[in-house]
A and B are shown apart, each in its own frame.
Chain A
């Protein structure tokens, strides 16, 4: 089974990475680009987490197939 492409966890990891990069990046254009991406990501993550509602699914018993 394949996983969804962009997950909350991926976003957080990217955010972490951007945070790291920003600490060492000295090129202004590059920094601003990273910062913009980070702000966008952090807003998305915040929204996702704030609006999340627990989903509960029941794995039904299979009908006897064998």
Chain B
């Protein structure tokens, strides 16, 4: 018995080495389905967790370089299919599954993770309406977190240049699906907050599968959206796709194009507003002028306004009267003076003649005309000689 057993004695290292060799050779590439529990992302970047079902459990590790390729963040309770190999850690006599790749066991798993995170954030108040910031009506700059070569960005450019080309778009090229997408999205939201003065941010991407859109359901994105000081419009996939970021964002748009429409005013409406101004204001001014005109007209016709004119008329009439009277008076005075003057003149003249005659001169006249020169005297006619005292006739 003991001799036999001597032959079969193995050291712990020997048996562990055998086990390691057997297990690792047998299970170099296996797919294991199970539920995650005790999930621990280590600061080193490695993941440690347990996969279990109702009857058993197995320790799992997933190294940093590999887990960065996983598009979703594992959660306890999530059923996954892990692909990897069995490795035995001799110093502890333990075996584990080295996971190279994992995916949810079904879409229901992602859905469940989605509901779970949604419930958690809802309870924390991240969706509360009173945290929602107002989207500016007329932004000068719009920050865009999406893939710079994606269709979503092209659509947004088209909408912006059609609706409101005054705006500036600031695109931060972002990984929106696959590994590192959630980190890329949240980092870029933070960068837009810290490095730019954009008025609003649109985060989003075009349509895709639930897996493609998954980054927008990650907690890290939800937190970045919630912490943003700049209002955020979330526009992920199509109308029917709802993501966690939609709930946290200040506004949800059904598509990226719709987000750009919500973020920009329509320049057609702005043109209409401007023409409307020109029309109504010109009308207002014209009405005011017309009103003023009427007021002036009424004032001119008013009784009170015309009193001074009446006064002027009255004065002018009485002035005319006075002038008339004055004229009449002057005329009669002048006439009187004239006739007096004539009388005086006659008197003066007669006095002058009489005096001459008295001094001995005579006046000779023929045919009632005074003959003052001898050459005018007609010897064939009668002549009258006027003396001082009398007049005689000679032949």
Contact = CB atoms under 8 A, between A and B. Distances in A.
A28 interface: yes
A26 B292 CA distance: 10
B170 A49 contact: no
Interface string A50-66: 00111111110110000
Which secondary structure characterizes the binding site on chain B?
Answer: helix
Contacts of A18: 277, 281
Nearest to B199: A3
A7 B292 CA distance: 36
Given A26-B288, A32-B285, A59 B277 contact: no
B169 A55 contact: yes
B166 A59 contact: no
A15 B171 contact: no
A62 B138 CA distance: 29
7 contacts: A7-B140, A12-B273, A38-B281, A53-B161, A56-B169, A57-B168, A59-B143
How many B residues touch the partner, as a band? Answer: 35 or more
B168 A35 contact: no
B138 A8 contact: yes
Contact of A28 (B138, B171, B274, B288): B288
Q: Closest 6 CB pairs between A and B?
A: A1-B197, A54-B161, A52-B165, A9-B138, A55-B168, A52-B166
Contacts of A46: 271, 274
Contacts of A26: 288
A61 to B, nearest CB: 7
Which secondary structure characterizes the binding site on chain A?
Answer: helix
B320 to A, nearest CB: 41
A6 B161 CA distance: 22
Nearest to B292: A28
B11 interface: no
B88 to A, nearest CB: 39
Interface stretch (B188-196, B203-211, B242-250, B310-318): B188-196
Contacts of B270: 12, 45, 49
B227 to A, nearest CB: 18
A20 B121 CA distance: 46
Contacts of A58: 148, 170-173
B137 interface: yes
A28 to B, nearest CB: 6
Contacts of A25: 288
Contacts of A22: 280-281, 284-285
Interface string B259-285: 000000001001101100110111011
A42 B278 contact: yes
B191 A59 contact: yes
Contacts of B273: 12, 15-16
B32 interface: no
Interface in B123-153: 137-138, 140, 143, 148
B110 to A, nearest CB: 30
Contacts of A8: 138, 140, 166
Contacts of A45: 270, 274
Given A31-B285, A56-B169, A15 B277 contact: yes
A57 B277 contact: no
A5 interface: no
Interface string A5-41: 0011100100110110011011010011001001100
